[in-house]
């Protein structure tokens, strides 16, 4: 009886196509991943069980930590228009170059008077110089924080035709009193609904 000969086949597979695809995907994910900006205030957010994720546009983030307030506006176009409007309010004009620089700033906490100086610095200097003393929070309608929030809301409405969502990102150990002051500023301009940013916690039992 003749023996059946099974031809031996190589087990090596052509990996080229697989490699191509995986690197394509890798490139895609790397590019879409947003680089995490270093937080000027070291904030540890409290955790909660809510599942609602923060949208990534038309957003204003108020960071509260160490008794200071920082503000961050999402969206370069909104940022530019906001700074322009702020300049008009406080009697300074910002050059197109300064507006461009401001468009890439993430969270900032400087009084409007030192904004020009702040914009000429680079990231390292901003951190070191101690110029970021927080936005003045006096709760009058001419106060800077009040104006920042209002002007950014106006800018969002103008450019994107939607309401800006205001979120508060507070440090866990912050006294509630500090947060209350910020909320008061919000309520003064009839922002009664806002969100608190929290990190995830195990699901509710």
Partner 1 sequence: MAELDTSSGGEKGGKVRSKKQSTKVDLTAMVDLAFLLITFFMLTTSLSKPLAMDIAKPDKDEKNDDNKLELRASQTMTILLGKNNKVAWYMGEAGKSTPTIEGFVDIRASLLKNKENVKKTTGKDIIVIIKPAKGSTYKNFVDIMDELNITKTNISAPAIDDDPAHLQEGEIQAMKQGGIY
Q: Which residues bind partner 1 (CB under 8 A)?
A: 12, 14-16, 18-19, 22-23, 25-26, 29-30, 32-34, 36, 45-46, 48-54, 56, 64, 165, 167, 169-180, 183, 187-188, 190, 192-201, 204
Q: Closer to partner 1 by CB, 27 or 129: give it.
A: 27
Q: Closer to partner 1 by CB, 100 or 180: give it.
A: 180
Listed in sequence order, the residues at least 6 apart from 123 whose beta carbon sits closer than 8 Å to its beta carbon are 38
Q: Closer to partner 1 by CB, 11 or 93: give it.
A: 11
Q: Whose CA is closest to 41, among 59, 71, 74, 63?
A: 63
Cβ at position 27, least distance to partner 1 in Å: 10
Cβ at position 189, least distance to partner 1 in Å: 11
Q: Closer to partner 1 by CB, 131 or 197: give it.
A: 197
Q: Closer to partner 1 by CB, 2 or 202: give it.
A: 202
Cβ at position 106, least distance to partner 1 in Å: 14
Cβ at position 181, least distance to partner 1 in Å: 10
Q: Closer to partner 1 by CB, 84 or 171: give it.
A: 171
CB 63 within 8 A of CB 43: yes
Stated as kind and residue range, the H or E segment containing 155 is helix 144-160
What is each CA distance from 185 to 54, 62, 90, 190, 200, in whole angstroms?
Answer: 22, 12, 18, 9, 28
Q: 145: helix, coil or strand?
A: helix
Cβ at position 170, least distance to partner 1 in Å: 4
Distant-in-sequence contacts of 39-43, Cβ < 8 A, 24+ apart: 39/63, 39/107, 40/70, 40/107, 40/108, 40/109, 40/126, 40/127, 40/132, 41/65, 41/66, 41/68, 41/70, 41/107, 41/109, 41/171, 42/171, 43/169, 43/170, 43/171
Cβ at position 41, least distance to partner 1 in Å: 13
């Amino acid at each position: 009886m003749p023996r059946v000969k099974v031809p031996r086949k190589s087990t090596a597979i052509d990996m080229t196509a697989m490699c191509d695809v995986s690197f394509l995907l890798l490139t895609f994910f790397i590019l879409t991943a947003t680089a995490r900006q270093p937080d000027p205030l070291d904030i540890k957010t409290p955790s909660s069980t809510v599942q609602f994720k923060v949208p990534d546009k038309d957003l204003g983030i108020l960071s509260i930590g160490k008794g200071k307030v920082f503000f961050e506006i999402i969206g370069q176009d909104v940022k530019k228009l906001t700074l322009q409007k702020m300049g008009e309010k406080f009697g300074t004009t910002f050059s197109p170059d300064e507006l461009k620089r401001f468009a890439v700033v993430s969270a900032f906490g400087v009084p409007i008077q030192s904004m020009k100086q702040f914009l000429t610095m680079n990231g390292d200097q901003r951190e070191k110089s101690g110029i970021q003393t927080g936005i003045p929070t006096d709760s009058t309608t001419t106060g800077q924080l009040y104006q920042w929030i209002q002007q950014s809301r106006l800018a969002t409405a103008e450019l994107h035709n939607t309401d800006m969502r205001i979120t508060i990102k507070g440090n866990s150990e912050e006294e509630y009193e500090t947060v209350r002051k910020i909320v008061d500023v919000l309520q003064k301009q009839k922002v009664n609904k806002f969100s608190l940013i929290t990190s995830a916690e195990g699901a509710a039992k």
